[in-house]
Amino acid sequence: MLLFSQIFALLCSVFVPAGAAIWIALHYEGKWKIMLLGALTYIIFNIALFLPIVSMVTSFDPVSAWISTHRAAWLLLIALLTVVLAELFRYLVISLFIKYDTASLDAVSFGLGYGGFQTAMSVGVNVLISIILSSYIAKEGATAALMAEGVGQLCLIVMQIGWTFLIMQAISTKKMRHRHFLWVDQVLPLPFFV
């Protein structure tokens, strides 16, 4: 059962996004470039910029001392910072490179490239290594956790596509009201955003 859940997680995090990307690339001309741009956006932001900067900041002794005493505040801060900066970077890339290609399929392609590469790197590689090396210890609940992880990665890809739709909507309509990132204007009723 553990091997089945590993294969399911691998299927959801690598093969479903790759299959969808291949299908879109074969059926719609030029959309592979937008998918590649989405994957490169994830690589440049998370792997080349954000993670090294966080690693550098946390290497300072005062910062690491603060983190060790305020663990919950650090986790909340880093989670919010990651989301806000990732969406700003995505907005920047979309507005610079695909400003005039804001069709629905372009949003799906970019979101699939970004989210598909993210799921493949964060879960798919780890599950593949665990299958090859058999490093998972068969514990109670490991199978359910892997199944939930696979479903969670599919949901993450859908969310990445949705966030890309929202950003492309903000770019295609020049109204200031639609320039809010994610859901800030609906969750926090802040009049100074308008």
> What tokens appear for 159 in the block?
């969310």
Return the half-sphere exposure (C-beta side, CA atoms, 13 A cut-off) of residue 10: 14
Does this model's pTM top 0.95? My answer is no
Q: Residue 10: is it exposed, middle or buried by C-beta count within 10 angstroms (0-12/13-18/19+)? A: buried
Confidence of residue 72 (pLDDT cuts 50, 70, 90): very high
Non-local (6+) Cβ contacts of 181 within 8 A are: 84, 87, 88, 91, 166, 167, 170
Distances, alpha carbon 157 to alpha carbons 14, 62, 94, 139, 164, in Å: 11, 37, 18, 28, 11
Token readout for 64 is 């690491």
Summarize pLDDT for 87-134 with one digit per residue, the tens.
Answer: 899 999 988 888 776 678 888 999 999 999 999 988 888 888 877 776
92-103 pLDDT, tens digit each: 998 888 877 667
Over residues 173-194, the pLDDT tens digits come to 764 454 455 444 444 444 433 3
* Cα angle value 146/147/151 (rounded, 5°): 115
Mean per-residue pLDDT, 37-59: 92
**164 burial level (CB within 10 Å; 0-12, 13-18, 19+):** buried
